[in-house]
Structure 1
Amino acid sequence: MTAKIVILTGAGISAESGLGTFRDVDGLWTKYDLNDVATPEGFARNPELVMAFYNARRANAAEATPNAAHKALARLEADFPGEVFIVTQNVDGLHEAAGSRNVLHMHGALHGALCKACEHRWPAPPVMSVTDPCPHCRKPATRPDVVWFGEIPYGMHVISEALSQADVFVSIGTSGEVYPAANFVAEADHHGAHTIELNLEPSAGASGFAETRFGPATEVVPQWVADELARTQK
């Protein structure tokens, strides 16, 4: 049976590509209240504000390029003799831009649009408006295809199954504070996976990992990938 590596990535892996995290002092998120731009209730109150926020995020992401950490994971997927499955909390497309193909966006993606009337999905234009008609039902019910606080992340059944089959679970650049992702390490450990945290600094759940490495993602991720590939080639 081939080995399986399941990788969870968070905002920390994209920070060195110029995409800020929730906790950046001067980042885009500091200019907005999360309750206003990242909840269904905020969208109901002021959809124009939410659209403007995600249009700004989409423009920011469009200018970003994959960094060494993204590229290292793409190399791992290409060269590892087993399966590599990336579950990302990020809504950017940097994993795919780097060459990764087996990626699940549990929080949706900036490049997607969703009709809240009929749930049809389509590629988002650079600038979205609440008056944009759905290509399927034609209703002006467009919203970003992202998962907001209070909504259920995408692909949870697929993720749970992957965690139950993982030989190695790696968490990269996440705070360890947002559920359900914060519980993935415990789930993987329960099923016997070796658990690893790669992060700039210890997360809230760092003590739950069997192995930890700390430093910038562009340094620790390529080094771990190199070590993992060397180990499998012995």
Structure 2
Amino acid sequence: MDAPSAALIDQARAFVAEARRVVVLTGAGISTDSGIPDFRGPNGLWTKDPDAEKASTISAYVGDPELRKRNWARLSEGSMWEGREPNDGHRALVHLQEHGKLLALITQNVDGLHQAAGIDDDHVVEIHGTTRKVRCLACGETAPMERALERVRAGEADPACRSCGGMLKSATISFGQNLVAEDLARAEAVSQQCDLILAIGTSLQVYPIAAVVPLAHRSGARVVIVNGEPTPFDHLADVVVNGSISHALPAICGGPLVDS
């Protein structure tokens, strides 16, 4: 991937330095350099395992006990997120928190790598959920994923909720499920409060969360987009940086951020 121009990097860094309330929106592109594949590409998870794609649809998951059992067995053997580490892009965003600039980090990713890099949980809005937990579809109680997987390895093919006996599922948002209303409301609120929104590694084509970029723009925030490919909202951006995210972000957010 071509390196972004130094002039664009410098302009983006200047905007970050001037900002006081930054909202970050991240997508799959920030985790690519951590070795996490996409879903539909040639080496994607669903390309290699169509059963996994089927399990990501809530109606199929709920209606097919054998599919659930195969899904739990697959997870117990290790997921594509297991052993992955944050890359330089994830780590660069921690500087925004350290400088007191980070209002919120909204992520479409479910890998937990922002928290692993050092972003505090209370700054993160995991709009599509997380693979680190399971949630009961009946009572809503959550528990660590690893605890459920220990039960699978001990012989429970389709573990049920310890509290109510309901169906357990990874705490990710599947096709056919609504987003968590509180998470979406928070994402929209902070996007109207920020003075800079930084969209990273996202195609900005997945709604409703992509709408936070024009929402922030209408509310007077500057818009910086860092992505490998053009997005539908490039025309709203004050700066668009196309190139390697793990190379661009340290230059934009790393080190001392001084408003000159």
Q: Tell me if TM exceeds 0.5.
A: yes
- Structure 1 gaps of 5+ residues are none
Aligned residue number for residue 91 of structure 2: 71
* Structure 2, unpaired ranges of 5+: 1-18
From the superposition, tell whether residues 46 and 167 of structure 1 become closer, same or farther in structure 2 (CA, over 3 Å).
same
Percent identity of paired positions between Structure 1 and Structure 2 = 30
Establish whether residue 44 from structure 1 lines up as the match of residue 72 from structure 2: no
Question: Which piece of structure 1 moves more, 141-150 or 86-95?
Answer: 141-150
- The question of whether the paired residues in 1 share the 8 Å contact of 2:89 and 2:247 is answered with yes
Q: Does 1:172 align with 2:200?
A: yes
Change (3 A) 1:43 1:185: same
Higher relative contact order (CA 8 A, sep 6+): 2
Following the alignment from structure 1 to structure 2, what is the Cα–Cα distance between the partners of residues 69 and 177?
A: 21
Q: Which moved more, 1:50-59 or 1:214-223?
A: 50-59
Give 3-state SS (helix, strand or coil) of 1:195's partner: strand
Cα distance in 2 for partners of 1:53, 1:175 equals: 32
* Partner Cα separation in structure 2 for residue 45 and residue 117 of structure 1: 14
Write the distance in 1 (CA, Å) between the matches of 2:80 and 2:59: 25
The aligned residue for residue 12 of structure 1 is 29
TM-superposed CA distance for 1:226, in Å, is: 3.5
The aligned runs of 1:1-234 (5 Å cut-off) are: 3-31=20-48, 32=50, 36-49=54-67, 51-52=71-72, 55=75, 59-78=79-98, 80-101=99-120, 102-125=123-146, 127=149, 131-137=158-164, 139-154=165-180, 155-226=183-254, 229-232=256-259, 234=260
TM-score, structure 1 normalization: 0.88
Equivalent position amino acid for 2:27 in 1:
G
Change (3 A) 1:58 1:104: farther
- Give the SS at the match of 2:131: strand
The whole-number CA distance in structure 2 between the counterparts of 1:70 and 1:178 is 21
Distance 2:140 2:104 in 1: 26
Letter in structure 2 aligned against 1:39: T
Q: Distance in 2 between matches of 1:90 and 1:199?
A: 15
Give secondary structure in 2 for the equivalent of 1:61: coil
Structure 1 counterpart SS, 2:125? strand
- What's the TM-score, normalizing by structure 2? 0.80
Give the SS at the match of 1:60: coil
**Would the aligned equivalents of 2:203 and 2:229 in 1 still touch at CA under 8 Å?**
no
Could you tell me which amino acid in structure 2 is paired with residue 165 of structure 1? Q
Q: Report the CA distance between 1:46 and its aligned residue.
A: 3.0
How many residue pairs match? The answer is 229
The structure-2 alpha-carbon separation of the partners of 1:54 and 1:184, relative to structure 1 and needing over 3 Å to count, comes to farther
Letter in structure 1 aligned against 2:83 = E
Residue 221 of structure 1 deviates from its aligned partner by 1.3
Q: Deviations over 1:159-216 (max 9, x none)?
A: 1110110100011101111101221111111100101110112123323322110111
Q: How many angstroms apart in 1 are the aligned matches of 2:29 and 2:226? A: 10
- Give, in angstroms, the shift of residue 23 of structure 1: 4.1
Which letter does structure 2 place at the counterpart of 1:212? V
Larger radius of gyration: 2
Worse overlay, 32-41 or 80-89: 32-41
| Conserved 8 A contact 2:97-2:119 | yes
